[in-house]
Structure 1
Amino acid sequence: MDDIAGKICPGLDDALTARDQYLTRMERRVCKLAVLGIKGSVAGTLIGTSRQNVSRMHSRLYRRLSGGKDEKDLRKVLLELAGLPCEGGETAAQAGVEKP
């Protein structure tokens, strides 16, 4: 999983460390799964915990890493931290800006 997430989102580990150096190993795994688009019970099975625990971690990570943004998409936040484009070829920061 680490290799795949690293290829999809290079620089994620460094970006996470820069943003919050106290992330646990499990929280880092949830972040990597979120980048891969895996959440809920599937993510719980992969990391050995419940869907509810993954959901709580997902919400907690969003709050810690987003800096208080309104959107609830952890994947976009993680891609933005790594400086990578989100869906549509723009960065997550650009996607949040209204277009004229």
Structure 2
Amino acid sequence: MGLRRQKDRSAEERLSAEPGGLAQEITDEITWYMRQHKISRADLAALMGVSPGRVSQILSGDENLTLRTVGAVLDALGTRFEFNLHGLEATAVLLDDR
């Protein structure tokens, strides 16, 4: 799922995010993808075989998402997630170059 969404936050804000910020970034990417492909939460719920309320919980960003849950969402969307690791200094440079 090579997502290319651009955030309106500075590099410093993204780098100083607490560890739970990763779940928010993942749900932001999923929400962005859904918006770009005109997939509603109700559509995603039907694809996953869960209630719309469950999809809202998953996409709230407040939940401690498991890899299994993220995988189920990605499978339902017919996507995959690309994960790249960068050192904090390299990430700050990459984010500032956007």
Return the TM-score normalized by structure 1: 0.32
Structure number with greater CO (CA < 8 Å, separation at least 6) is: 2
Point out the structure with max Rg over C-alpha.
2
Q: Name the structure where helix makes up a greater proportion of residues.
A: 1
